[in-house]
A and B are shown apart, each in its own frame.
Chain A
Amino acid sequence: GESVGLHLPTLSVQEGDNSIINCAYSNSASDYFIWYKQESGKGPQFIIDIRSNMDKRQGQRVTVLLNKTVKHLSLQIAATQPGDSAVYFCAENIRGGGADGLTFGKGTHLIIQP
């Protein structure tokens, strides 16, 4: 369940290693899933998205995997760099939902160790 106050999960990886950030979603009606990156002092920045009828999508150094059976989403970042340090959010776009806004997860703080 949700804890009182946000205690973001933290993932620490060595520079050059691969990282995997996980996200669980709850709404089977979600049509698109989106990953955002938020660096300190900045707004969330779009990274990659995947439609619900896909299992995998690749971008530049990033891969998103979708497992609808267990409602799980992951973001894989290859060969991490210092600039990858940020908070990463998954977001759902719920088809037919009352709001066209995205529903964001709580975020994971990725720290790249030199």
Chain B
Amino acid sequence: DAGVIQSPRHEVTEMGQEVTLRCKPISGHDYLFWYRQTMMRGLELLIYFNNNVPIDDSGMPEDRFSAKMPNASFSTLKIQPSEPRDSAVYFCASSFDRGRGIQYFGAGTRLSVL
């Protein structure tokens, strides 16, 4: 298995633009997580899905952020409109073993909003 695949690896955009980050989880995993990592706040959970259904989005910073999982092999995180403070590395992770909580992370998308 190729692991969790995220795209793009890097995204540079201007304030106000829409940004869409993509994730393909490991086949067979039924949990998908979106995290944001910054120097100021470390690694933060934004939202997670179970069987394509959003379970907890309490970590989503504000209404500008939205996430979808239309099927078991694809998820998107969208920021509209983007702001400079959204600059961070965004990670997607997937898991099939809730008890142990072992999540497998993608390589991340480094977002820079100018």
Contacts and interface: CB of A to CB of B under 8 A. Distances in A.
A79 B100 CA distance: 28
B48 A93 contact: no
Contacts of B101: 31-32, 34, 49, 91, 93, 100, 102
A105 B43 CA distance: 8
Contact of A98 (B35, B40, B58, B104): B58
B31 A100 contact: yes
Interface in A7-66: 31-32, 34, 36, 41-46, 49, 51
A23 B55 CA distance: 28
A48 B33 CA distance: 20
A54 to B, nearest CB: 12
B56 A101 contact: yes
B101 to A, nearest CB: 3
B85 interface: no
Contact of A43 (B40, B55, B102, B108): B108
Interface in B29-74: 31, 33, 35, 38-43, 45, 48, 50, 55-56, 58-59
B78 to A, nearest CB: 19
Interface in B3-32: 4, 31
Interface string B87-114: 0000101010011111111111000000
A37 to B, nearest CB: 11
Interface in A80-99: 89, 91, 93, 98-99
A100 B101 CA distance: 8
Interface of A: 4-6, 31-32, 34, 36, 41-46, 49, 51, 89, 91, 93, 98-107
Given A49-B102, A107-B43, 19 more contacts: A4-B40, A5-B39, A31-B99, A34-B100, A34-B101, A43-B91, A43-B93, A43-B106, A44-B93, A49-B101, A91-B101, A93-B100, A99-B55, A100-B31, A101-B33, A102-B45, A102-B101, A102-B103, A105-B42
Closest 6 CB pairs of A and B: A93-B101, A43-B105, A101-B45, A104-B43, A99-B56, A44-B105
